Structure 1
Amino acid sequence: MGGASAKLHIRLAADAASVSGARRFVVDGLSAWGQARFADAAELVTSELTTNAALHAGADFMYVTLERRTTGVRVYVEDDGPLGPDMVQARTPATGDRSGSSELDATGRGLAIVGMVAGRWGVDETARGKQVWAELVDPEDAGHLFEEPQRLRPSRAPEAVDELPPGWVLVRLAQCPVELSLQQDRHLDELVRELQLLSVDQGSDQSLALADEIRGLLVSPTHARLTGRRAAERAREEGKDVMDVDMAMPREFSELIVHLHEAVARADQLCAEGHLLTLASPPDVQELRAWMTQEIVGQATRGTRPVPWADWQRTSSVPMDTP
């Protein structure tokens, strides 16, 4: 079974761009359990449930759980949004046209697909909000194939502790400065937008190549970046100056983070030389990115303990363009 726990958890930002990360998490967990035969169905169910949570729940975060059971596997997607279990209804020929709600109509199409794939599915009211689950069983296990979806009694939400598949790691950016974190994220967005505009300028081969490189490097770690951003936004709303940011990711993403750090440093050089309208990253933003890169690489590849931002500032002599 690869040493994986019988129940795996991950917290993700409730954003459509997190859906691919949720699918990867579920597939990796099934592979570790030797349950790859459920992978296609689990990917589909996970995609539908997380997309619903991201687009229609009004949530900040969604919590994906994969549970190994004697009859198969179960996928749970919980959200912390204000919309309750009554909004969870499959759209069928008998009910779809009578709902009178665009939200029910939108979520119901995906749940109808879940109902066709899953042996059974249901919804819980939890301490955070609501949790939709779907159970996948072997086709020959006819006793579980066509049961009606169940609505269960309210239950207490599980603790938000990530238990991850083998090959994944939970990285902590300890005592990360909230405003500076959001500033560096905004600067990266501005840089990417300008490079995307320049990508149509055939006279700028260097900018075109760099735009393609940065866009490509941002694709895989998107779910982790969005989770960090959402955590910073919530911390700012709560009036916090610093926060611990926990981001789950496959260990191989650390190599992408190194390449991204180097590519952004090259883009900053173009900014400093006046080739881009975006201003180069301020020194404190460059320093924060260097710290983030070192923390991700160290924790993912060597299992190092998190070093808080303020401690790293006092002791680090690492150049800004080197992770």
Structure 2
Amino acid sequence: MGGSDGGGVLQARVRMVALPESVPVARRFVDDALTQWGRETLIEDVGLCVSELSTNATLHSGSRFFELELEQSPETVRLTVLDTGSATADSMTAQSDLTDALLDDQTADDASTTGRGIFIVSALASSWGIDELPEGKRVWAEFDDDGDTTYDARPPAVTRREASPQPAELDPDAWVTVHFLDCPAALLLAHDDNLAEIIRELQLVGSDLDRPHFHRLAGLLAGHVQRHAVNWDPARIMAMDAIRDGHERADIHVLSPRHVTEEIAFLRSLVGEAEALAEAGKLMTMPARAEIQQLRDWLEAEFLNQVERGQPPVPYGVWLEQH
């Protein structure tokens, strides 16, 4: 869920497709992180604000994706939502200037399509701001759990930046949305868990038996998983939410870099090497079940077909019938 910078600061980050389905995923991400960090008293306020900011980034920014980050220090929790859309800091600042009388005339359902959501952020956060970027904007809000329940709207701190090179990972054209339709939720989680079990055992066996090869393989696998976690974590959250809601299947949307073929081939070779060790009896973790192998084949095919070849998504059930 996050890492530490060594100074008591914890961070969690995720990158999501700018679709309405991502808003509850963003809320779940925040809830889980704050629970893990023991900051449950902030869940309601931070969760409400992330819902509003994610909705704004999804519906009103024109961005293809948005990036969400939580950072915890002993004093505060900082929420950041970054998008690459065209909405300006001035437009958001104007939205935060709504009066209480206007709020009284609106229902809660109106919040996502008006400035009320931004007004809520300005009232709940102890401080907040908007950083204009060369492409898009970064909205941040800080919260403390000192027991203060006086909610007063505050103007944002606005930072305007001169044009500068955009980081490659924030280039909208560098990403493609991949849709995994009719995805079996429990099987997707089993797929991820199997990979995590393999990595853990490779690390343990490599340490206990002094096998450098196992260490190397574990490091490569763990590095690959960590490198792509910011894009893949929403898939896990969507799958878990589907199971919580009693659904066996879910439509899952994730971001992929445009050039993914080499990454997929690399992961496949690493997993194949690890499973060969398992089949040879050198690991206690069993090779993935046949249905997990099928899911992997489908996931790989969808990445390649949608990202590299521009083909439409094929639902899992349809793909099974074809194979």
Category of TM-score, reference length = shorter chain: 0.5 to 0.7
Residue 215 of structure 1 aligns with which residue? 222
1:225: Cα distance to partner? 1.8
Structure 2 counterpart of 1:294: 301
Q: Secondary structure at the match of 2:238?
A: helix
Instruction: Give the TM-score, by structure 2 length.
Output: 0.55
Equivalent position SS for 1:221: helix
CA distance in 2, matches of 1:84, 1:201: 51
Over 3 Å counting, the alpha-carbon distance change for 1:188 and 1:133 in structure 2 is farther
Q: Percent identity?
A: 25
Residue in structure 1 matched with residue 40 of structure 2 by the alignment: none
1:137 aligns with 2:160: yes
Tell me how far 1:138 sits from its aligned partner. 3.8
One-letter amino acid matched to 1:262: S
> Could you tell me which residue of structure 2 aligns to residue 185 of structure 1?
192
Deviation per residue, 1:72-123 (Å, 9 max, x gap): 998xxxxx9xx97655213xxxxxxxxxxxxxxxxxxxx6xx6899999677
Residue 251 of structure 2 is aligned with which of 244, 251, 257? 244
Superposed displacement of residue 250, structure 1: 1.7
Indicate if the aligned counterparts of 2:174 and 2:258 stay in contact, CA closer than 8 A: yes
Alpha-carbon distance between aligned partners in 2 of 1:247 and 1:232, rounded to the nearest angstrom:
12
Q: Which letter maps to 1:260? A: L
CA distance in 2, matches of 1:220, 1:122: 24
Give the direction of change, closer, same or farther, for the CA distance of 1:122–1:183 in structure 2 (3 Å limit): closer
Answer whether contact 1:169 1:251 (CA < 8 A) is retained: yes
Gaps of 5+ in 1: 1-7, 17-45, 75-79, 91-110, 124-131, 141-162, 317-323
Which of 255, 265, 280 does residue 273 from structure 1 map onto? 280
TM-score under structure 1 normalisation?
Answer: 0.55
Structure 2: which 5+ residue stretches go unaligned?
1-16, 34-65, 93-116, 142-154, 164-169
Q: CA deviation at 1:278?
A: 1.0
Shift of 1:202: 6.2
CA pair 139-182 structure 1, distance change in 2 beyond 3 A: closer
What is the CA–CA distance in structure 1 between the aligned matches of 2:313 and 2:301, rounded to whole Å? 10
Query: How many Å separate the matches in 2 of 1:66 and 1:239?
Result: 35
SS of the residue 2:278 aligns to: helix
Structure 1 equivalent of residue 70 of structure 2: 51
Cα distance in structure 2, aligned partners of 1:287 and 1:116: 45
Residue by residue over 1:188-219, the C-alpha shift from the partner in whole angstroms, topping out at 9 and shown as x without a partner, is 11112112223435632331221122122223
Q: How does 1:57-206 map to 2 (within 5 A)?
A: 64-68=82-86, 87-90=124-127, 135-138=158-161, 165-201=172-208, 203-206=210-213
Inter-partner Cα distance in structure 1 for 2:121 and 2:235: 26
Structure 1 residues 134-158: Cα deviation after superposition (integer angstroms, max 9, x where no partner) = 7541479xxxxxxxxxxxxxxxxxx
Matches of residues 8-47 of structure 1 in structure 2 within 5 Å?
9=18, 11=22, 14=29
Deviations 1:278-311 (A, max 9, x none): 1111111111111111111221111111111111
Q: Distance in 2 between matches of 1:180 and 1:212?
A: 25
